[in-house]
Amino acid sequence: MTDVTHEFDHAAVLERCARGEHDALHQLYQQEGGALLGVVFRIVKDRGMAEDIVHDACLNIWQRAASFDPAKGSARTWIFSVARHLALNAIRYRDREINVDHSDPAQFEHDETFQHALRIEEAFDWQTGQRMDTCLQALETERRNCILHAYVDGLSHAEIAEHTGAPLGTVKAWIKRSLQRLRECMA
């Protein structure tokens, strides 16, 4: 129990949370608080909002710890997915309130400013040494960028289109097909 950094047992901590041990949540926070805040901040891009979401995520993890099933996946993945989805919900619902309706592809496809030559440099230093790397590698750079802009930056289809200069319809199709190819590759 002396070295928690290398062998932190996320599943055991969730189990203790499920039993009502506050200390377990504190240990989890000490271990992953910075990483969770980093992931959430990257998505919501607002420090105060990011801390609110990590606060909510911790309470969510605490309340739902008993529902975590180690047979279905890793505890660390589950913990991060709770925080990520809170962040995604927060920005999607916020943007729906203050922004134009992003669901109208025509508006973007007919806008010539999006027809620029595509920037296709790598947008991310993305290699993590996991098996998924090989599958991402097999995608064209611009498609890989779309996937990572969505997953890491939390960008919507329209924001990715704006960011990369690709038409909205193309971005949507690229992401769909990339997901299909990634799944085949990982099968």
Partner 1 sequence: MSVSDQHGDDHTLAGEYVLGTLSPSERQAVEARLTHDAALQDAVMSWEERFAPYTALATPVAPSAFLWPRIQRSLNAQTPAHHPQKAMPERRRLFNSLPLWRGVAGLGLAAALVMAIMLARPPAPATPEYMVVLLAPQAQSAGWVVQASSRQRIQLIPLGTFEVPEGKALEFWTKADDWQAPVSLGLVAPGEPVSIDLEALPPLEDNQLFELTLEEASGSATGLPTGPIEFIGRAVEI
Name the residues that contact partner 1, by CB under 8 A: 20, 22, 25-26, 29, 33-35, 37-39, 41-43, 46-52, 54-55, 58-59, 62-63, 72-74, 76-78, 80-81, 84, 88-89, 92-93, 96, 102-103, 124-126, 128-130, 132, 147-148, 150-152, 154, 156-157, 160, 169, 175-176, 179-180, 182-183, 186
- Separation of alpha carbons 66 and 50, rounded Å: 25
Return the sign of the alpha-carbon dihedral for residues 93, 95, 99, 104: negative
Closest distance of CB 116 from partner 1, Å: 21
Based on CB atoms, which residue is closest to partner 1, 120 or 153? 153
Closest distance of CB 91 from partner 1, Å: 8
Based on CB atoms, which residue is closest to partner 1, 117 or 131? 131
Based on CB atoms, which residue is closest to partner 1, 48 or 117? 48
- Separation of alpha carbons 158 and 101, rounded Å: 10
Please, what's the largest Cα pairwise distance for the chain? 60
Strands (E), 3-151: none
Based on CB atoms, which residue is closest to partner 1, 47 or 116? 47
Based on CB atoms, which residue is closest to partner 1, 114 or 170? 170
Closest distance of CB 120 from partner 1, Å: 19
Please choose, from the candidates 32, 146, 48, the residue with its C-alpha nearest in 3D space to the C-alpha of residue 80: 32
How many whole angstroms from its chain centre is CA 42? 9
Closest distance of CB 165 from partner 1, Å: 18
Integer CA distances (angstroms), 14 to 23, 28, 40, 44, 161, in order: 11, 9, 20, 26, 39
Closest distance of CB 34 from partner 1, Å: 4
Integer CA distances (angstroms), 140 to 26, 28, 54, 115, 159, in order: 42, 37, 34, 19, 19
Q: At what angle do helices 157-164 and 141-153 cross, to 10 degrees?
A: 130
Closest distance of CB 25 from partner 1, Å: 7
Based on CB atoms, which residue is closest to partner 1, 8 or 102? 102
